[in-house]
Amino acid sequence: MKVALVSGTWTEGKCGVGDYARQLSNALEHKGIQVDRIAMDDWSIFNAGRYRAALRQSAPDIVHVQYPSIGYKRSLLPATTGYLKLDCPTVITLHEFQIYRSYWRFVFAPIALKMAARVFSRTEELDRFAKSYPTRKGQDHIIPIGSNIPKADGVERRRSSVAYFGLFWPGKGLEDFITFAELAKKAGIDPASLSVIGAPVAGKEAFLDHIRSKAEEIGFALHIDLPASEVARQLAAHEFAYLPFPSGADERRGSMAAALVNGCTLVTRYGDATPDWIRQNSLQADTPEQAADLLFGQGVSEDSLKELRGRASQIADRFDWSTIAQKHVALYEDILRTRASG
């Protein structure tokens, strides 16, 4: 089987959707799928002929579009792929839908009408799309995102150690981890058992300087801009990951995926979009004070922790790229069977 995988960018680190497309491409190839990476330097609607020619030249069995992506800018061209009169079905993965205001959602009408299938990473996005387009055509599927951080093997896990992983960006939860670290130190916990792992963000240098200052003041370990393999080893060395997402944990959280893949017990905040499977396989802490009580007080029993650890490998499989690729292959095969029988 040959798949033409379309993304606005393929450059590592430039766009989260591009990183996803690259990982999916590699995983599909490991499954024996031939993947043609489709790229253009200008996605203007005026280049529709060039785009159609590139897809026809690829001659795939399936076209799979990743949308939106930074590389597309505001172009509607990728959303209209189903109208290009290709000789094969088109699938699209919608990485974001809810962020678009209602007056922009006309962009998604072609996606609702001319795609063989739509893939969403979380239930909430699918439900919102279904409500917006009740007469849509084609299949709808949920396939969780994978972890861009690999799984580290052979790492000794330090008991009662706690990690935070994410971008150094204000308002994303790192401030709560700092408060948690201060509470831990006041409670007599060795701050060296706590780690902040992350990457700097252009334009947010002052915030990174603040985190550096707090690391020196409190004494927690600070790991900046590590390669993915070393991020994996650092996460795998910690028993817990405290990730206090302001709007709550859900399937789109890449930092959560990385922590779960590497066997950390998740401590997090729940929100309206937090699915049952996350609630059943994590510890809830709405505030840093609750997190400190859970991990350093009497907030959780050892039996509960053992039960969570026992399900860790099963949860990690949700974010494994081999598992995700196999779900895509099954979807492609089903679409081609349906087309052949129709």
Cβ 201 vs Cβ 170: under 8 Å: no
Q: What's the whole-model pTM score?
A: 0.79
Place of tokens 């599927």: 141
CA dihedral angle for residue 232, residue 173, residue 316, residue 278, rounded to 10 degrees? 170
Query: H-type helices in 13-172, by residue range?
Result: 16-30, 48-58, 109-113, 123-132
User: By the 8 A CB rule, do 54 and 43 touch?
Assistant: no
What is the model's pLDDT at position 109?
A: 87
Tokens 């590139």 locate to: 54
Contact of 267 with 295, CB cutoff 8 Å: yes
Question: Can you tell me the mean pLDDT for 298-316?
Answer: 84
Task: Kindly tell me if the per-residue pLDDT of 96 is higher than 80.
Answer: no
Question: Over the range 160-198, which residues count as b (16 or more CB within 10 Å of their CB) and which as e?
Answer: ebbbbbbebbeebbbbbbbbbbbbbbeeebebebbbbbb
**Residue 102: per-residue pLDDT:** 62
**Pair 180, 252: CB distance under 8 Å:** no
| pLDDT above 80 (res 342) | no
The pLDDT of residue 138 is 96
| Fold match between domain 2-146+320-341 and domain 158-317 | yes
Q: Of the CATH numbers 3.40.50.12140, 3.40.50.300, 3.40.50.2000, 3.30.420.10, which one belongs to the domain with range 2-146+320-341?
A: 3.40.50.2000
**Two structure tokens written together for 155:** 């790492």
- Can you tell me the mean pLDDT for 223-230? 95
Q: Where are the domains of the chain?
A: 2-146+320-341, 158-317
Average pLDDT of span 31-40: 97
Domain 158-317 in CATH 3.40.50.2000? The answer is yes
What are 72's two structure tokens? 């597309």
Beta-bridge mates of residue 141: 119
pLDDT 10s digits, 273-284: 898 999 999 999
Residues 228-243, mean pLDDT to the nearest whole number: 97
Whole-number Å distance between alpha carbons of 181 and 38: 46
d(CA 258, CA 242): 12
Distances (CA, A) of 164 to 140, 154, 258: 34, 21, 11
Instruction: Taking residues 114-121, report their average pLDDT.
Output: 95
| Of residues 140, 138, 116, the one with CA closest to residue 62 | 116
Lowest mean pLDDT among 8-17, 40-49, 99-108, 154-163: 99-108
Q: How many residues does the chain have?
A: 342
Read off the pLDDT of residues 168-206 as tens digits, 9 standing for 90 and up: 999 999 999 999 999 999 999 999 999 999 999 889 999
Bridge partner residues of 163 (DSSP): 195, 241
Cα angle at 202 between 198 and 203, to 5 degrees? 120
pLDDT at 88: 97
47 pLDDT more than 80:
yes
Task: Give the separation between CA 156 and CA 115, rounded to whole angstroms.
Answer: 47
Instruction: Quote the tokens at residue 305.
Output: 């922790």
284: its two tokens: 């809830």
Over the chain, what is the mean pLDDT?
A: 92
**The two three-digit tokens of residue 150, written as one number:** 């690999």
As given in the structure block, the two tokens for residue 114 are 């001319």
Instruction: Compute the distance between CA of residue 92 and CA of residue 109 in angstroms, rounded to an integer.
Output: 13
Rounded Cα gap, residues 206 and 124, in angstroms: 35
- Which residue type sits at 23? Q
Contact 38, 58 (CB under 8 A): yes
Q: Tell me how many helices (H) and strands (E) the chain has.
A: 13, 12
Q: How far is CA 186 from CA 67, 217, 243, in A?
A: 47, 13, 21
